[in-house]
Amino acid sequence: MNSIMASISSLPPSNFPVTMAATALRPTRIVTYAITHRWKLPTTCYFSSIPPKTLSSPSHIRTATSVASTTETAPLNTEAEASLPLKKVLIPIGYGTEEMEAVIMVNVLRQAGAHVVLASVEPQLEVKLSNGTTLVADISISECSDQIFDLVALPGGMPGSVRLRDCKTLEAITKKQAEEKRLYGAICAAPAVTLLPWGLLKRKKTTCHPAFIHKLPTFRAVKTNLQISEELTTSRGPGTCFQFSVSLVDQLFGENSSMEIEKFLLMDTADEVLRKEEFNEVDWAVDHTPRVLIPIANGCEDIEVVTIVDILRRAKLDVTVVSVEKTLPVLGSHGIKIVADNLIKNVADSIFDLIILPGGINGADRLQKSKILKKLLKEQVSDGRKYGAICSSPSILHKQGLLQNKKATAHPSIASKLESNTIVGSQVVIDGGLITCRGLSSAPEFALAIIAKFFGHGRAKSVAAGLVFEYRAN
């Protein structure tokens, strides 16, 4: 076992080599998974599109409103609400943790009403993850040792899974979780690298990332995207993390809640990817490493920011995340603090091959107010360079007149506010130098389409395989 772990810990920090064909279903389709025994818990849960107010209270119980709502609603203050069981979730992160997996889990579970604690296993709260994104954890793992959690969920990534494995406090918490038959789960490399040496996969059917499946006991390893075995849930990688997270919601809150979350994530929408013109391979090609600017603000949709950055960096694009706020740390839509690479004022005179605007209602409003960003976008279009937006941010382009004579898509909550001859009901739309996306669960396809436009379908397919995500080249 020691030799196995030593060989695992020597692997590179990201982009695992894939040893088998990726067969993951896209997040817009219902995943088929094996269930040894389904763990059932109370089913009541509230939903809204309103993010938590602060990091200190990420699990703020929210009123039942339309998932597409953009109007803030005060939380209920009733005896019925007070009687709802609080579901407490621990998600640990360490140096090299897979950022997509960590952020998707935190976002989805907080949206479902769980009190999610993002805990650092490092000496500091600020943690650099596998593809360069830096998050600020809520607390140190040492503060969690005496707490009881309804769920402990481990993200993968390398060397992140090793960092989790070597944390004695986390090991004790997770072992106690298993001994007391409470929910625990792991995704990507974590089942093989973290749970296996802890002895927490005994008599459990388990799946994990294809690059690590050979580390699992052969008679217990399965190649499904999602595997539930009594109180343990495992999944294969970033490309299956939406299904993994929705399954955890189902086990914590029940089927009705998981169905509402699927709607919020736009997992129930049509799955076509529309291009106004024929998709020409590498027709965005440049004679240098493509430079991409992603501006962020307080309230930006954290899933979209982290997913796009993660996937584009896997393809070796030069991605710069800039804050339009006065500080580098930016608070995302669901209480996740993301540390930007720079302030936007410091890149005002720089040239980028592509500017991408992330969504989130509050974040889009704050991006819209940035004079520097308006200037950059105007110059981007006038110079014939590429630009794009996801979720609610096409509204920014609309207000600046940058959607004229263009086909685009947007989140359903803001699509009706744009010109009817502009909006197309598809997940991703490419019209010349403009690329737009509906948001959330379509973010991986959005990022992969960008990669294909710069480098061709071959590189996009290779990146998708590492994600365990089905890439469609058409």
* Residue 441, both tokens: 């669960």
**269 in a domain, yes or no?**
no
Give yes or no for residue 135 having a pLDDT over 70. Answer: yes
Give yes or no for residue 56 having a pLDDT over 80. Answer: no
Give yes or no for residue 60 having a pLDDT over 60. Answer: no
Phi, psi (deg, nearest 5) at residue 401: 75, 25
Q: Which residues contact 62 (CB under 8 A, 6 or more apart)?
A: 46, 47, 48, 50, 73, 75, 113
Q: How many domains is the chain partitioned into structurally?
A: 2
Same domain? 406 vs 282: yes
Q: Is 343 exposed, middle or buried (0-12, 13-18, 19+ CB in 10 A)?
A: middle
**347 in a domain, yes or no?**
yes
pLDDT at residue 62, rounded to an integer: 31
**403 in a domain, yes or no?**
yes
The per-residue pLDDT for range 145-179, each reduced to its tens digit, is 999 999 999 999 999 999 999 999 999 999 999 99
Q: How confident is the model at residue 82 (pLDDT cuts 50, 70, 90)?
A: very low
Q: How confident is the model at residue 282 (pLDDT cuts 50, 70, 90)?
A: low
**2 in a domain, yes or no?**
no
Q: At what angle do helices 457-467 and 302-314 cross, to 10 degrees?
A: 120
Q: Give the mean pLDDT of 111-125.
A: 97
Same domain? 397 vs 372: yes
Q: Which of 101, 262, 304, 470 is catalytic?
A: 304
Instruction: Check residues 368 and 37 and name the one with the higher pLDDT.
Output: 368
The per-residue pLDDT for range 176-235, each reduced to its tens digit, is 999 999 999 999 999 999 999 999 999 999 999 999 999 999 889 999 999 999 999 999
Same domain? 288 vs 236: no
Same domain? 259 vs 138: yes
Give yes or no for residue 429 having a pLDDT over 90. Answer: yes
pLDDT at residue 30, rounded to an integer: 32
Give yes or no for residue 123 having a pLDDT over 80. Answer: yes
Give yes or no for residue 296 having a pLDDT over 50. Answer: yes
Torsion of CA 416, 422, 427, 432, to 10 degrees: -160
Same domain? 19 vs 157: yes
Give yes or no for residue 77 having a pLDDT over 70. Answer: no
Q: What is the 3-state secondary structure (H, E, C) of the chain?
A: CHHHHHHHHCCCCCCCCCCCCCCCCCCCCCCCCEEEECCCCCCCCCCCCCCCCCCCCCCCCCCCCCCCCCCCCCCCCCHHHHCCCCCEEEEEECCCCCHHHHHHHHHHHHHCCCEEEEEECCCCCEEECCCCCEEECCEEHHHHCCCCCCEEEECCCCCHHHHHHCCHHHHHHHHHHHHCCCEEEEECCHHHHHHCCCCCCCCCCECCCCCCHHHCCCCCECCCCEEEECCEEEECCHHHHHHHHHHHHHHHHCHHHHHHHHHHCCCCCCCCCEECCCCCCCCCCCCCCCEEEEEECCCCCHHHHHHHHHHHHHCCCEEEEEECCCCCEEECCCCCEEECCEEHHHHCCCCCCEEEECCCHHHHHHHHCCHHHHHHHHHHHHCCCEEEEECCCHHHHHHCCCCCCCCECCCHHHHCCCCCCCECCCCEEEECCEEEECCHHHHHHHHHHHHHHHHCHHHHHHHHHHHCCCCCCC
Same domain? 421 vs 327: yes
Q: Which of 232, 264, 296 is the last residue of a domain?
A: 264
CA gap 57, 216 in Å, rounded: 38
pTM score = 0.83
Q: Give the mean pLDDT of 83-91.
A: 83
Q: Give the mean pLDDT of 322-335.
A: 97
Structural domain that includes position 151: 7-264
Q: Percentage of the chain with pLDDT > 90?
A: 74
pLDDT at residue 398, rounded to an integer: 95
Give yes or no for residue 340 having a pLDDT over 60. Answer: yes
Q: How confident is the model at residue 281 (pLDDT cuts 50, 70, 90)?
A: low
Residue 208: active-site member: no
C-beta of residue 236 within 8 angstroms of C-beta of residue 466: no
pLDDT at residue 277, rounded to an integer: 45
CA gap 422, 385 in Å, rounded: 20
Give yes or no for residue 108 having a pLDDT over 80. Answer: yes
Same domain? 211 vs 323: no
CATH code for the domain in which residue 38 is found: 3.40.50.880
What Rg value do the Cα atoms of the chain yield, rounded?
21
**310 in a domain, yes or no?**
yes
User: Which of 285, 314, 282 is closest to 464 using CA atoms?
Assistant: 314
**473 in a domain, yes or no?**
no
The per-residue pLDDT for range 170-189, each reduced to its tens digit, is 999 999 999 999 999 999 99
Q: Which of 262, 411, 445, 457 is catalytic?
A: 411
Q: Which of 45, 241, 391, 437 is catalytic?
A: 391
Residue 379: active-site member: no
Same domain? 328 vs 226: no
Give yes or no for residue 441 having a pLDDT over 60. Answer: yes
The per-residue pLDDT for range 460-472, each reduced to its tens digit, is 999 999 999 999 8
Q: Give the mean pLDDT of 312-337.
A: 98
Residue 325: active-site member: no
**96 in a domain, yes or no?**
yes
Same domain? 354 vs 450: yes
Same domain? 454 vs 309: yes
Same domain? 296 vs 440: yes
**472 in a domain, yes or no?**
no
Give yes or no for residue 446 having a pLDDT over 90. Answer: yes
Please, which residues bridge with residue 55 across strands?
Answer: none
CA 335 to chain centre: 13
pLDDT at residue 144, rounded to an integer: 98
pLDDT at residue 421, rounded to an integer: 76
Q: Which of 245, 264, 283 is the last residue of a domain?
A: 264
Query: What average pLDDT does the structure give for the chain?
Result: 84
Q: Which of 216, 234, 264 is the last residue of a domain?
A: 264
The per-residue pLDDT for range 232-273, each reduced to its tens digit, is 999 999 999 999 999 999 999 999 999 999 998 988 654 555
Which residue in the block uniquely carries the two structure tokens 């809640």?
257
pLDDT at residue 272, rounded to an integer: 55
Cis peptide before 52 (omega within 30 of 0): no
Q: Percentage of the chain with pLDDT > 70?
A: 79
Same domain? 125 vs 183: yes
CA gap 469, 237 in Å, rounded: 8
